[in-house]
């Protein structure tokens, strides 16, 4: 799968790449540091990703702002978007579901737990029919 990973923290990016590299299937991970950069990628010439992993807390354009723009776009609104955050804030959770997210994952602190959760999420999306733009 091609995964667009929107995250401002470099350590988090390293964690995701390391986790994905351990999987038997190879995944193409495209990275964006914030919502603005992600929109540039999505509106650019490259093929659309299969799924999006989205952080909430980011400078310039945060996750919820990005999500609101994404879900208003006639083409981009179909992209399954999974929140990957440390925010346990219920208002954030509700706002994200209201904006049509495909999942809300709290990043575990322990690396082994993180790896376990992420691998399950990727495995789940792999058995789904994807939009394929
Ligand atoms: Mg962040």
pLDDT tens, 22-64? Answer: 999 999 999 999 999 999 999 999 999 999 999 999 998 999 9
- For 22, the token pair is 């351990």
Q: Note the helical H segments in the chain.
A: 10-21, 35-42, 63-72, 90-98, 111-126
Tell how far the Cα of 74 is from the centroid of ligand 1, in angstroms.
Answer: 27
Tell how far the Cα of 87 is from the centroid of ligand 1, in angstroms.
Answer: 10
Tell how far the Cα of 92 is from the centroid of ligand 1, in angstroms.
Answer: 14
Tell how far the Cα of 31 is from the centroid of ligand 1, in angstroms.
Answer: 13
The model carries a pTM of: 0.95
Tell how far the Cα of 86 is from the centroid of ligand 1, in angstroms.
Answer: 8
Identify the structural domains of the chain with CATH numbers, from first to last: 2-126 (3.40.50.2300)
HSE of 5 in the Cβ direction (CA atoms, 13 Å)? 22
């Amino acid at each position: 799968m091609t995964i667009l990973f929107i995250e401002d923290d470099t350590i988090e990016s390293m964690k995701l790449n390391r986790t994905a590299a351990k999987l038997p299937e190879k995944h193409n991970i495209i990275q964006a540091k914030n919502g603005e950069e992600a929109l540039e990628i999505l509106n650019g010439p490259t093929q659309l990703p299969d799924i999006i992993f989205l952080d909430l807390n980011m400078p310039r354009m945060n996750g919820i702002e990005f999500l609101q723009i994404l879900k208003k776009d006639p083409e981009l609104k179909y992209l399954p978007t999974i929140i990957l955050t440390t925010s346990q804030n219920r208002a954030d959770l509700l706002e994200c579901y209201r904006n049509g997210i495909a999942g809300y994952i709290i990043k575990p602190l322990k690396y082994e737990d993180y790896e376990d959760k992420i691998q399950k999420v990727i495995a789940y999306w792999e058995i789904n029919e994807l939009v394929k733009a």
